[in-house]
Each structure stands twice: as C-alpha cells, then as structure tokens.
Amino acid sequence: MLNVNEHRCHHQGGQTIADLAAKYKPDANLFILNGFPTPAKSTVHDGDIVSLICKGKQPTPEELDFLLSARHTPGIQNKIKASSVAILGLGGLGSAVAGAMAKIGIGKMLLSDYDVVEPSNLNRQHYFVDQIGMLKTVALRDNLLRMNPSVSLELVEKQLTEPDLPDLFKEVDVLIECFDDPVMKAAALRSVIVKMKNVAYVGSSGMAGFADNNTIVTRTIRPGIYLVGDEVSEAGPGQGLMAPRVGIAAHHQANQALRIILEDVQGRANDQ
Amino acid sequence: MNITLNGQPKMLNCIATLSELLEELALNPDTVVIELNTEIIQPDAYDTQTLNEADSLEIIQFVGGG
C-alpha cells in the first residue's frame, strides 16, 4: 500500500511519482516522498508516503477538511468539527489556545476580548507587528482563517462582566478562561459552576515567569471543570508573562478542551 | 471550631464568618472562589455566611496573568 495525499492506494511495481501525479493530482509540481522533495521520475515502493502539491495554489476548504479527517481519523474529526468552544480573553493564553483549536479543525469558536494589540503584547501573544492597534478579536480572526479557513468564528468585542457570561456562552461545549484579571477568573469559575450546568470548563491561574515546566498542571475542580497553571506564579514586576511558559499553560488548556470533546475525560453531563 | 480547609484539618479561633476567615488568611475576597460543603458561595454572602463545626471548605485563589 501507498499513502498518497492521505489516501491509501495500492502499490504497483515500477510506479513513479509522475504516474501517481497523473492519476491523483495532474497539476502537482512539487513532490514529497517520505518527507523529502524528490524528482517526478523517482520510483515508489510499498509503504511510501507521497505528497503531491501544486505550489502557489491553495487547497479548497473541502480538500483541507479531507486532509484533517484522514490525519485525525474520521470518527475523531467528526466530533471535533461538531464541537464549539468559547475563549475568554485573547492574550498570551487565548491567542495560543485559539490557534491550536483552529489547527485541529474545531467547528466553531467564540472569541472574546475588548482590547487592541499593543507592542508589549508581542513577547507572547500570537499577533504580528503590523497588527498593532487592531482589535485583538479582528486580528486573531484574520490569523486563524489563514491557518484554517473552515473554522466558524464569532467575535465578542466587549469588556465582559460576570452577568454577561451565561448570556453569551451557555451554548458552547467548552468554555476556556484565558483572562488576565484574577477577579474575572474567579467570576468565570463561579458562573460556570452555578449558571452553566451543561458547559465544560478549563480555567487558568499561575503561569508567569520561567519557573519549572512541570509545575504547570491540570487540576480537576469537579467533573467537567478543570484549572490549569501552578496557581501561584502571578504576573507582576520582576516576573512577567513570557511566551514559553504561557504557551505550556495554553496548550494544557487546549488539550484538556480536546480531551473533553473526545470524551477522554469527564464533561459536565453528570453534574446536576 | 474544627473545619477542613482545602483537604487539610484547620482549627479556627474567634472566626465566625467567611469574610473573617479570608481576612485571617490574607486573601482578597474578589479573587477567590469558595465552595462550602460543595456549594458555591456568592461574594455578597461572605459577610453573613457563618462557619460551623466540621464544615468542609475549598478556597481557590486566582493570580493574575493570561
């Protein structure tokens, strides 16, 4: 068997890359054999993995969906695509979580922030220098759609208060709290436990500085409610937020949301 | 009075309410979530919510940064 653009194909003796391209992607002009560029005349062998690429031409959203489905397996990808998350705050945590969720093909994301991109954000937040001054919601939408044009995005451009949270986010599968402000972190956790009984939750507390990687943990508060961080490393003078450790926490959050979606850990269904 | 605080036994002297306990622990009431016997207590009740013998209390304290 061969793997050609994530399709499994029968291998015939003497077949070349050019033969495969003629059959599967006639406009291809870049050929990758087992991870390395190769000329069209190369012969393929059983077990080879071949990517046929047309340089400069973007795959259609359908082709991208197919590639994700093939890579993740259809059962898993259907669950991811059927799921929605909301991200509260689009700073170092939120922008990284959103990138991870877009790349795996989440169905829908609500992106919430009221702030604009500032130069001081760029040491950790996933924005570009030419986006300084843009609303984070708009800048992040532009960036995410370049990563995966199939993801459906809804922007919530306001400074959230505790009473807003159930009104705006009670329909999502997983609420991911990435606020900077500890008052809102506490408010969001209370709100989800008391007022959003069907929404799973991944909160955050303590990821500033460059202390030990392995003190960032994912703790179960109650079934379907999780908290990521070391719970002590507060952002402040002498201990700033920096991309590496904030990224560790963000990806704990993203993976926990994925595990909830794929039912690898408990969601909220049993919390009555 | 003996209570359980975050899974550990704790003896309280001269503390009647949640607000008094937060003050004793030097915790900012605005940045904590409190579960008393598995029920979330709203912040506007911290002043009036009394503590009783054998209560089980979980206090989650948040720090800034995100």
Q: Cα(A176)–Cα(A75) distance, rounded to whole angstroms?
A: 24
- CATH annotation of B2-61: 3.10.20.30
Does residue A31 sit in the same domain as residue A122? no
Mean pLDDT value of segment B17-29: 97
CATH for A232 = 3.40.50.720
Does residue A247 contact residue A172 with C-beta atoms inside 8 Å? no
Does residue A89 sit in the same domain as residue A49? no
Inter-chain touch B60–A208, beta carbons under 8 Å: no
Query: Is 80 exceeded by the pLDDT of residue A34?
Result: yes
Does residue A14 sit in the same domain as residue A79? no
Distance from CA of A20 to the nearest CA of B (A): 48
Mutate to test the interface with B, among A87, A183, A191 (most CBs of B within 10 A): A183
Does residue A49 sit in the same domain as residue A87? no
Q: Cα(A158)–Cα(A98) distance, rounded to whole angstroms?
A: 18
Question: Taking the domains of chain B in order of start, what are their residue ranges?
Answer: 2-61
pLDDT tens string A220-264:
999 999 999 999 999 999 999 999 999 999 999 999 999 999 999
Give Cα A170 distance to the centre of its chain. Answer: 20
Distance from CA of A205 to the nearest CA of B (A): 6
Q: Residue B7, Cβ neighbours under 10 Å: how many?
A: 8
Q: Residue A30, Cβ neighbours under 10 Å: how many?
A: 13
Does residue A183 sit in the same domain as residue A224? yes
Q: Cα(A151)–Cα(A84) distance, rounded to whole angstroms?
A: 10
Strands (E), chain A: 2-4, 7-9, 30-33, 36-37, 49-53, 84-88, 108-112, 152-156, 174-177, 200-204, 217-222, 225-229
| A53-67, A78-92, A104-118: least confidently modelled range | A53-67
Asked if residue A64 is part of any domain, the answer here is: no
Chain A's closest residue to B29, CA to CA, is A183
Q: Residue A205: list chain B partners with CB under 8 A.
A: 60-63
Q: Pick from B7, B33, B45, B27: which is nearest to A177 by CA? A: B33
Asked if residue A43 is part of any domain, the answer here is: yes
What pairing do the DSSP bridges indicate for beta strands A84-88 and A108-112?
Answer: parallel
Does residue A220 sit in the same domain as residue A248? yes
Q: Cα(B38)–Cα(B60) distance, rounded to whole angstroms?
A: 13
pLDDT tens string A38-69:
999 999 999 999 999 998 888 888 888 888 88
Asked if residue A45 is part of any domain, the answer here is: yes
Chain B's closest residue to A226, CA to CA, is B60
Asked if residue A222 is part of any domain, the answer here is: yes
Does residue A175 sit in the same domain as residue A49? no
Q: Cα(B35)–Cα(A129) distance, rounded to whole angstroms?
A: 43
Asked if residue A241 is part of any domain, the answer here is: yes
Q: Cα(A176)–Cα(A157) distance, rounded to whole angstroms?
A: 16
Query: Is 50 exceeded by the pLDDT of residue A272?
Result: no
Q: Could you please report the per-residue DSSP string of A19-51?
A: HHHHHH-TT--EEEETTEE--TTPBP-TT-EEE
Inter-chain touch A180–B42, beta carbons under 8 Å: no
Does residue A136 sit in the same domain as residue A10? no
Does residue A14 sit in the same domain as residue A112? no
Give the number of domains in chain A.
Answer: 2
Does residue A208 contact residue A235 with C-beta atoms inside 8 Å? yes
Chain B's closest residue to A87, CA to CA, is B66
Q: Which residue in the set A190, A206, A227 is minimally distant from B40, CB to CB?
A: A190
φ and ψ at residue A253, rounded to 5 degrees? -60, -45
Q: What angle do CA A144, A149, A155 make, to 5 degrees?
A: 50
Inter-chain touch A206–B63, beta carbons under 8 Å: yes
pLDDT tens string A179-225:
999 999 999 999 999 999 999 999 999 999 999 999 999 999 999 99
ipTM of the complex: 0.96
- Chain B interface, Cβ < 8 Å to A: 28, 30-33, 40, 42, 60-66
Whole-number CA gyration radius for chain A: 22
Element at B57 (helix H, strand E) = strand B56-61
User: Residue A171 pairs with which residues in a beta bridge?
Assistant: none
Inter-chain touch A182–B40, beta carbons under 8 Å: no
Q: Residue A206: list chain B partners with CB under 8 A.
A: 63, 65
For chains A and B, CB pairs below 8 A equal 69
- Chain A interface, Cβ < 8 Å to B: 89, 91-94, 178-183, 185-186, 189-190, 193-194, 204-208, 221, 227, 231-236, 241, 246
Mutate to test the interface with A, among B27, B60, B63 (most CBs of A within 10 A): B63
Does residue A257 contact residue A176 with C-beta atoms inside 8 Å? yes
Chain B's closest residue to A189, CA to CA, is B33
Does residue A174 sit in the same domain as residue A212? yes
Does residue A135 sit in the same domain as residue A232? yes
- A137-156 as b/e: b if 16+ CB within 10 A: bbbbbebbeeebebbebebb
Distance from CA of B32 to the nearest CA of A (A): 6
Chain B's closest residue to A235, CA to CA, is B65
Q: Cα(A31)–Cα(A2) distance, rounded to whole angstroms?
A: 14
Domain that residue A247 falls in = 74-261
CATH for A47 = 3.10.20.30
pLDDT tens string A142-176:
999 999 999 999 999 999 999 999 999 999 999 99
